[in-house]
Structure 1
């Protein structure tokens, strides 16, 4: 019996080791030359990227136990019972779109931005499970996407905030890469894209506060308070960020993942005010409050970056924390009203036109779903 258990454990370890080392899901590793280039960044120290503030990244054994027990227990209302509603998007509507700039939400933190007759995808995690294997994560809350990747037209650029599975998905990139002209990432994330077959000349990596232009648009890599990693040994080997997107007439902010800190005010002072800001709101817990905001902080961050209109993101997609699925939107909705901030909450797949976003009817659609 003991020998049999030992053999079983050995087989499991071998399979896990092979999976981690051979599966393309885990991405690439930086070369010594690339690491040498990262060393010029103020955000890189002793072989890893760092936050500006002192941030707790490792949970204690007690916290890990609490988290594991919480996930294993049957927590009520953490997942919608019947899936969330999705408004379908026609590929011809995307191709023929000539109106004012708009955003289409895919749930969680994924967007299609149409601006100056260009299609920009932001954090396009369009897969079913935010994990390296389907058995290692929970499924998407919605049973479908507004439009499948195969039906999408040409994509001019993709912006990626960091390399976690709920923001950078191997399967999505494989389906998208032939459609995309350019990819923009924080430092190091391009290593994964190259591993997945995307040419180096189609990837632009930026450090915090660095800017680049793309066919009349300006992309600015701005700070976030978070971390990175896709495997067991690559934590903080790539940088994480928020993004500013500027055209001649619009100024947009995308928070990526972040704990609440003073970088929001710095971004607002340097690049605000913003016409529209997509700000993280979901997957929070007291045990990791340094790296994910609470909903009340989401609303405050909207004030800090000087946004005219905010949209809560990082909710409505996946269960990655122990709160109920409605908790993020209910709490931020209440706080935004207290702070007198204009906030929009579209259905998945519903277009928001940026110039008229403040007039959008906030219909609290989530109240109709269990």
Structure 2
């Protein structure tokens, strides 16, 4: 559970930002008046120095919050450095992948977002959901349940898995910066039955959620994730013997005849200023009866066709498609690219992902659902669009879902 001290740090930073904004506003007014008077320059310089010092101290205190995790060190760092994909102190994508398109910068995006309208980015009403009782499910049923955004509950061959669970209302380092849509958190950690394997694709806030990971700890058997991400779990109290890291194309033999494949994605990592010190991955899960693929966050690239050729198709694939933006065109797919990737993967069923819970890009929240529906017409796969918590029965190829977002 999140401690009282950690909750205090969150409250502290929220109040700190409010105080700083008021102080800066007042200081700028005083400074402008002071410059008009002789002999006031030294006071302005001193005041500026003090203000910068207070801001720096406040930020440093907040950054001590355990939710920021830690970077790999010791043996975990040695494993990272042995990876052929770790070059010059960073993990590299298989193809050139700038985080932002060539004519963009972080500052320009912030300015554009402040100037642009927020109309339609978030739903006006609560997102509908179905709160399936996960404890009551027959463990022998093969099921995938979308829990919103890129979170999933999976049952396969009697094994329970949880992928990228996020049950918090915020998916950002600063409170209120990226709030979940109303109605998208019907589940809490107490609703989750004992989990055999917890899978985490990468360390971004909307996939690796500190309060959720802490709350789930008593229910989790083993953790499987990409290189370097295990450092977060160690920081958050997990036994390192039960945390397993993999590089792209590594394989883990699981219980009940399941095999987990750690596969490439086209993305990046990092929770604050440091980037690409941990690996971002997708997962393929294979049982004696079926095969599933979860892309994690990924832009479109040749790796999808290569994965499809390697595995000769999938019963179900879940693909990133909901946070596309021309300003970061290489690290997230458009719905049309996701439809193409699904065919390259040899998907029988496509489950859209990275959608329906957070607004990260500047398009109407329901637009990805409409575009993936149109892009999937005349395709060889079946598109499924369940509500949050609505089971996909993998033995039922005729199961259909409504357009609940309309």
Specify the TM-score bucket, using the shorter chain as the normaliser: over 0.9
Change (3 A) 1:24 1:248: same
Give, in whole Å, the separation in 2 of the partners of 1:207 and 1:331. Answer: 33
Whether contact under 8 Å (2:284, 2:294) holds in the other structure is yes
How far apart, CA to CA, are the structure 2 residues paired with 1:336 and 1:92?
34
Distance 2:360 2:56 in 1: 25
Please give the TM-score of this superposition, normalised by the length of structure 2.
0.85
Alignment partners' CA distance in 2, 1:92 and 1:150:
10
Alignment of 1:199-348 (within 5 A): 199-216=239-256, 217-232=258-273, 234-348=274-388
In 2, are the aligned partners of 1:89 and 1:146 still within 8 Å (CA)? no
Please give the residue correspondences for 1:4-153 in structure 2 after superposition, counting only pairs within 5 Å.
4=47, 6-20=49-63, 22-58=64-100, 62-72=104-114, 73-94=116-137, 97-135=138-176, 137-153=177-193
Q: Residue 226 and residue 174 in structure 1: after superposition, are their counterparts in 2 closer, same or farther (change >3 A)?
A: same
Residue 359, structure 1, aligned to residue 398, structure 2: yes
Question: Which secondary structure state, in structure 1, belongs to the residue aligned with residue 395 of structure 2?
Answer: helix
TM-superposed CA distance for 1:360, in Å, is 2.1
Structure 1 alignment gaps of length 5 or more: none
Question: In terms of mean alpha carbon deviation, does 147-156 or 208-217 score higher?
Answer: 147-156
Q: CA deviation at 1:262?
A: 0.3
**TM-score, structure 1 length as denominator?**
0.93
Alignment correspondent of 1:162: 202
Pairing of 1:166-205 with structure 2 (within 5 A): 166-205=206-245
Distance in 1, matches of 2:348 and 2:383, equals 9
- Deviation, 1:362, is 3.4
2: CA distance between counterparts of 1:79 and 1:70?
Answer: 18
The structure whose Rg is larger is 2
CA distance in 1, matches of 2:392, 2:57: 49
Separation of aligned partners in 1, 2:243 and 2:225: 8
Flag structure 2 segments of 5+ consecutive residues without an equivalent. 1-29, 32-43
1:74, distance to aligned residue in structure 2 (A)? 2.8
Cα offset, 1:58, TM superposition: 4.8
1:7-51: CA deviation from partner (whole Å, max 9, x where unpaired): 33431222112212x111111122144333222211111121110
Q: CA RMSD in A?
A: 1.7
Counterpart-to-counterpart distance in 1, 2:136 and 2:78 = 45
Does 315-324 or 63-72 show the bigger shift?
63-72
Shift of 1:157: 0.8
Q: CA deviation at 1:91?
A: 4.5
Distance 1:75 1:107 in 2: 21
Deviation at 1:89, TM superposition (A): 2.2
